């Protein structure tokens, strides 16, 4: 289990993460979502103990990871897939990590097979495609068979078959009772990958709930309705509690009442309907809307973030 409590991280004048509190439970694939610059990578680095928070705490299975003494057998992480020594082979890279974490050599061959790199394991990593590097990064995370796994943008560079494979892998790891925490800036990727969501924007928590709950809360249904007497129908629907907007070509766009109820009201008032169409905003649209403020803030603040400078910590 990952527990983040009132976590804040400032870089100069830039607040990357502000007063963030959430819990990630084992047995689920939990998506960590937010637009670019929302603070996802910073949060992951704070949880992993790679950077120190300005204030607040982050623990994994009730202990901070700051000392990093627990190694790959406790926590596996894919952070930056291209951050590997290009001159080594994939197999040599994994063997070196296995050695320093007291993991048996045989496990290297197992994870290579698992991620589909057995055939390319003898080749230099420098010659790997981005997708192959992602697979190697996933193999690294799996190497110690850890109960807690972090994946930062794991679908980057993967082809459709690779994406399906990763989704199946994450589901299996969660079903085995592990904690699986996966970040992405794309709702469309998380919709089919995660069952729980932590959504942040501008370093702050926007939602912590299941994908189903988020979808029910975030997506809005509207109904397009067309009639020969739009003003009368608009009056009837407004009186029944709906919000009515004039749409294209005399149509009305109605929110707050479902299509069935609109049909019943039209019948009660003997109004002839020429169209009655329900439409639901996609989860991607809902996510964009919910996080729109943070995107605007960053677009207007880009120069400022640059001025703030680096605190000297390596990203």
Query: Which range binds ligand ATP by CB under 6 A, 20-28, 73-81, 289-297, 305-313?
Result: 305-313
Q: Which of 7, 22, 33, 39 binds ligand ATP (CB under 6 A)?
A: 39
Size of the site for ligand ATP (CB under 6 A): 18
Give bridge partners of residue 199 from the DSSP assignment.
33, 207
305 contacts ligand ATP (rule: CB under 6 A): yes
Q: According to CB under 6 A, which residues from 4 to 23 bind ligand ATP?
A: 11, 14, 16
User: Where are any strands of DSSP class E within the chain?
Assistant: 2-11, 14-24, 29-33, 55-60, 75-78, 148-152, 179-184, 196-201, 204-210, 221-227, 243-246, 252-255, 273-280
Q: Which of 2, 20, 33, 38 binds ligand ATP (CB under 6 A)?
A: 38
C-beta closer to ligand ATP: residue 265 or 288: 288
Helices 211-218, 283-308: crossing angle, 10 deg rounding: 100
C-beta closer to ligand ATP: residue 83 or 248: 83
Give the x-and-dash track for 131-170 against ligand ATP (CB under 6 A): ----------------------------------------
Q: What is residue 105's DSSP assignment?
A: T
Query: Which range binds ligand ATP by CB under 6 A, 58-66, 76-84, 262-270, 304-312?
Result: 304-312
Q: Which of 18, 29, 42, 60 binds ligand ATP (CB under 6 A)?
A: 42
Q: Percent helix, strand and coil across the chain, each rounded to 5?
A: 40, 25, 35
79 contacts ligand ATP (rule: CB under 6 A): no
Place of tokens 């004048």: 13
The three state secondary structure string of 285-307 is: HHHHHHHHHHHHHHHHHHHHHHH
Rounded Cα–Cα distance for residues 19 and 40 (Å): 13
Q: According to CB under 6 A, which residues from 81 to 100 bind ligand ATP?
A: none
Place of tokens 């991620």: 115
Residues that bind ligand ATP (CB under 6 A): 11, 14, 16, 34, 36-42, 185, 305, 308, 310-311, 313, 315
């Amino acid at each position: 289990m990952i527990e983040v409590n009132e976590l804040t991280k400032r870089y100069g004048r830039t607040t990357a993460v502000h007063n963030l509190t959430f819990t990630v439970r084992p047995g689920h694939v939990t998506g960590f979502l937010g637009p670019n610059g929302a603070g996802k990578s910073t949060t992951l680095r704070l949880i992993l103990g790679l950077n120190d928070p300005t204030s607040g705490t982050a623990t994994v299975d009730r202990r901070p990871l700051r000392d990093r003494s627990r190694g790959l057998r406790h926590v596996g992480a894919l952070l930056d897939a291209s951050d590997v020594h290009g001159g080594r082979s994939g197999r040599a890279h994994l063997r070196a990590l296995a050695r320093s974490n007291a993991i048996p050599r045989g496990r290297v061959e197992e994870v290579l097979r698992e991620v589909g790199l057995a055939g390319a394991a003898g080749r230099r990593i420098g010659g790997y495609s981005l997708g192959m590097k992602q697979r190697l990064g996933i193999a690294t995370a799996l190497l110690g068979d850890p109960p807690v796994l972090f994946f930062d943008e794991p679908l980057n560079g993967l082809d459709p078959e690779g994406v399906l494979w990763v989704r199946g892998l994450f589901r299996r790891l969660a079903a085995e009772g592990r904690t699986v925490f996966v970040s992405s800036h794309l709702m469309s990727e998380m919709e089919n990958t995660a069952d729980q969501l932590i959504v942040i924007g501008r370093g702050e928590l926007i939602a912590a709930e299941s994908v189903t709950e988020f979808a029910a809360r975030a997506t809005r249904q509207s109904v397009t309705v067309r009639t020969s007497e739009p003003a009368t129908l608009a009056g009837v629907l407004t009186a029944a509690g709906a919000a009515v907007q004039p749409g294209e070509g005399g149509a009305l766009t109605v929110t707050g009442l479902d299509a069935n109820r609109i049909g019943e009201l039209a019948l009660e008032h003997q109004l002839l309907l020429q169209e009655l169409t329900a439409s639901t905003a996609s989860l991607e649209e809902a996510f964009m809307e919910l996080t729109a403020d943070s995107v605007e803030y960053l677009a207007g603040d880009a120069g400022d973030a640059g001025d703030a400078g680096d605190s000297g910590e390596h990203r």
